[in-house]
Structures are given as structure tokens and as C-alpha cells.
Amino acid sequence: MIDENQSGGAVMSNAMLLSAMLAVATVLPQAAAAQQEAPVTVTSRDGGFVITGTLAGFDGQLLRLSTDYGPVTVDIAEVTCEGAACPDPSAPMVPTLRLSGAPALGAVLLPALIQTFAGRRAVSFDRADPAPDRIEIALSDAGVPVARFELTLSTTEEGFADLAADEADMVMAVREIRADEAQRSFDAGAGDLTGPRRLRVVALDALAPAVSPANPFGGASFPMLAGIWSGEIADWSALTGIEAPVAVHDLPAEGGFAQGFADRVLAPAGLAPAPTVMRHDDAAELALAVAQNPAAIGLARFSQIGNLRPVALVGDCGRRLSLSAASLKAEDYPLAAPLALYVPARRMPQIFRDFLDFLGTPAADLVVRRLGLTDQVPVEVPLADQGERLANAILAAGEEVSLGDLQQMLVELADTRRLSITFRFRGGSTRLDPMSESGVDRLARDIAAGIYDGRQILFAGFSDGDGAAAGNREIALRRAEAVLAAVREELQRLGTPPGAGPALRAEGFGEALPLACDDSDWGRQANRRVEVWLR
């Protein structure tokens, strides 16, 4: 087993069944032909409908069928089921959630969150570990089982494979889903896992190229890191003037952290890790090995970085992006590695929907912090503490963005504090990325709860430097207005009356406050954003 660094809506009524089936069929594909053929017929208890299809799955409460209308989900308690593949009616019907993937979530974090969730519902929590890579958790109310969680600890990659094979209901991931994994999941009836609300971020972590405090190496660009990991840069003399071979340490190649680094840093350069890269099963073990060798550099986890010094990311223009809890929360650091669940586009028992909702609560955030990870609770950062960002802006001033433009921006932001929620967009799109979708939900919940009553919220749009400055300001404004509209839509869904809470407005500042250089895809992506400022 690879150690990856351990440390849907309600069930339909009879009257709505046919229309819901047709609606679902327009969103989800037919179940994959490779699924085991298991013909069944389900009939509602009152005889209102009869459906024949093949059994696509059963989670202890909900039957998933493949039918001529597309995928259909029914509650086993509301129907009778006929066919050899039907669940045994005499067996206990306990809702069961199968999770597979990264031990970074499954070994400690999710069991701790499930235990806290159980405590808040006043139900008992019983854990069993039948194998080193297997955890089974049962929740019971007065001795009556109410839910089961089955966690398989493998890798992010194997988690997606299990989902496509209907051996898992959710994926525990530490990197973004790849295109081939998304296609296989779609073909298997899990829906579009790159779509809205399919990623549920549980905690924040980051990939941190890091060195011993005795190593003078101060900053690296993505191409430089790619050269180091591929072996093209094999000696420190080219980087620090010290003649010593570079010793590269990394996490398991099959694990999600190393794969995420390869996808974002090595693949764009057309490179692969050198065979000389030293692999460590455990992130703490890696940190210790790098700390003991001034000639070493390693891909550490921010949560387990020990006394290593993270290497700042630097572009050819000289702008630097440093790693901190604040830059991680704000998505300013481009090698973030959120610990997240990929949730298929299908209905699930209510208790598991409640668990997903629980993950965004203060009680869950407390569990995340106690385990040494970074939570998603927004923090306010005064303008006076934005030194690195303001220095980048001054360095970038020129013909397109004058010093007067920067002064006007500072007038707009005077007496404000930046909230560590940043909204970003998918490449070449106006769609928010998954982290930003979570940010809309959290900000709207906090506004609805009255946290920002009596204050003003400014959605400040920024762009990269490609194109004319006037056009970039217009693009930035449209993005800021799109985020404002998304927050208002979520507030309406939460039942908040129009005009209640803080005043909301949008402004576009274009390329006036760059985070990174525009000479790379990741730099331009970092600069295209909408920030939240409070007054």
C-alpha cells in the first residue's frame, strides 16, 4: 500500500418520479455498460409506480437503478424490490458511505471529524480497524445503527479508480482530478466531478519546496524547480554559488502530493522526476532528512514542514510569493494542496448530507486546527500588513499602470481590511474554481449569520497584465460583479431578505496589484482574482 502521508437532493415523491427521472437523465449519463447486469423491478408501496432496470448500487438506504430513462434513485423503505440482485429484506438496512483515497484525509482527519459529528448528534461512535488500510466506523442511537463509514486508505489515484468501479461513494483527494479520471467517473454514472459543488474542501495544506535553514537558497521559479526535480539542475553552484550536488527528496511517486507537484510544475515543462529523487513514505520523515542535509531540497507538506524553510516562488520579473497560513487561505500560494472530498452527482442518505454540511462549521474547523492543518475560517488582514503585495505593485508600475493609478487604488482601500477569501476562475473561463465555490458558500453563510452587519464589503477585481490596462479593468470589474451576484444568489437561497446585512459593491482595479509575474500560466492565474475587502 502507498502511504499518502498519513500522520444530492432529497428522495423523490411518487408524483415527481417521472419528471425527476427525465431531468436527471439530462445531467447524468447512462450507467456504464461494463457494470454488472442485475435486473430488478421496484414498485412503490402504494402501487403508484413500477420501474424496471439494472441495479447500479445500494448504500444501505437508497437503491440506484439504470433504466431507459437514465439513472434513478429510490428509497428502499418506500418500495418493494423484486429480482435476484435486490437487497435481502431481512438484513439490517444501515446507510453506508464508502470513502477511498488519500490517507492524509482518511487515517486521522476524517475519523476525528466523524467522531465530533457523532458527538454533536448525541449518537455513539465505534471504530474498528480490520486491516492497516481499512477503517470502519459505526454510528448508533440507543444501540440502533444509524450509519456506517467505510474508509479505504490507498492513494488519490486509486480512490478515483474505486469510484469508477462502484467500489467507493466518495474520493479522498489531495490533488485535482485529472481529465482521464473525470471521464471515467462520468462514464460510470458519477456525473461531472469538475462541475459546481462536486469538490468539498475539508482542510488546507500545501506543497512546499523546502530546504534546511543552513541552505542559503532563497527562491525558485517553476522552471527552476522543474530543472531540479528532473535532474537538469544537479549542482547548487548554479543556484547559490556553493559547489555541492543537489539531493532531491519527495513523497511517493504514486501519491497525490507528488502527482500534484508533477502535474503543475514538471508536466508544463515536458519533464519528469529523475530516478535519483529520494522517496519517503512519510512527510515527517522527509522533513527530517532534508533538515539534516544542507545540500538537500524536498517537497514537504506545509502541515508537517518541521523546521524546514519553505522556498519562495519567484518569477523572472522578481515578484515573490511566500507560503504562510494567510497566503494559503487566500489562495495566493499556487501550490496549495487542499484535502478534499470529490462527491458524485447523485443523491445520498440524509445523514451523509448532514455530515458534509457539518464540515463547514466552527466545530469542524476546530478539529482541523487541532490536527495541525489550516482551516478555512476567514481572517482579516490590515492593509498595512500587505507589504509584499504592495511592493509587487510598485515594481510593476509603468506606462500601463501609473503611480497615480496605484494611489487611487489605495484611496479606495483606505481603512479597509482584506478578508482571506479570494475568488478565482477556471482557466479560460468565467466559472469559479472549486475552492472559490466553497468561498461563496462560506461568505454567504457568515453574512446571513450577521457576522458583517454594519460593515461594507468590497469585491475587488484584479487581472493579469496581458492586453490594454483599460480593458483589463473592465474584465476585472465584470468578474467582481459576477462574484457579487453569486454571493447574493446564495444569500437568497439561505432566505436572507434583499438589502439585509452589509452593503455590497464591486470595483475593478485591473492589473494594479499583481501577485506574480505574467510570464507563466501560474503567474497569470494568480493575478486573475477577486478579493474581499471590509470597511
> CATH number of the domain that 454 lies in?
3.30.1330.60
Same domain, residue pair 405 and 268: no
Residue 334 lies in a domain: no
Same domain, residue pair 282 and 256: yes
pLDDT digits (tens, 9 = 90+) for 109-141: 999 999 999 999 999 999 999 999 999 999 999
Residue 199 lies in a domain: no
Q: What is the pTM of this model?
A: 0.82
Same domain, residue pair 55 and 123: yes
Q: What is the pLDDT of residue 355?
A: 97
Same domain, residue pair 495 and 469: yes
Residue 127 lies in a domain: yes
Same domain, residue pair 137 and 211: no
Same domain, residue pair 243 and 173: no
Residue 99 lies in a domain: yes
Same domain, residue pair 290 and 348: no
**CA separation (Å) from 194 to 30, 119, 124?**
18, 33, 35
Residue 237 lies in a domain: yes
Same domain, residue pair 298 and 384: no
Listed in sequence order, the residues at least 6 apart from 148 whose beta carbon sits closer than 8 Å to its beta carbon are 60, 94, 95, 96, 97, 136, 137, 138, 139
Q: Which three cell numbers stand for residue 61?
A: 438506504
Residues of the chain with pLDDT under 50: 1-2, 8-36
Q: How far apart are CA 527 and CA 425, in angstroms?
A: 11
Q: What is the pLDDT of residue 28?
A: 36
Same domain, residue pair 49 and 156: yes
Same domain, residue pair 3 and 147: yes
**Which residues are paired to 67 by β-bridges?**
70
Q: What is the pLDDT of residue 140?
A: 96
DSSP state of 155: -
What range does the domain containing 137 cover?
A: 1-194+340-375
Residue 200 lies in a domain: no
Same domain, residue pair 314 and 352: no
Q: What is the pLDDT of residue 30?
A: 36
Number of separate domains in the chain: 3
Q: What is the pLDDT of residue 374?
A: 94
Residue 333 lies in a domain: no
**Coil vs helix vs strand at 74:** strand
Same domain, residue pair 104 and 130: yes
> CATH number of the domain that 30 lies in?
3.40.190.10
Residue 201 lies in a domain: no
pLDDT digits (tens, 9 = 90+) for 428-471: 667 788 778 888 988 998 999 899 999 999 999 988 878 888 88
Burial (CB count <10 Å: 0-12, 13-18, 19+), residue 247: middle
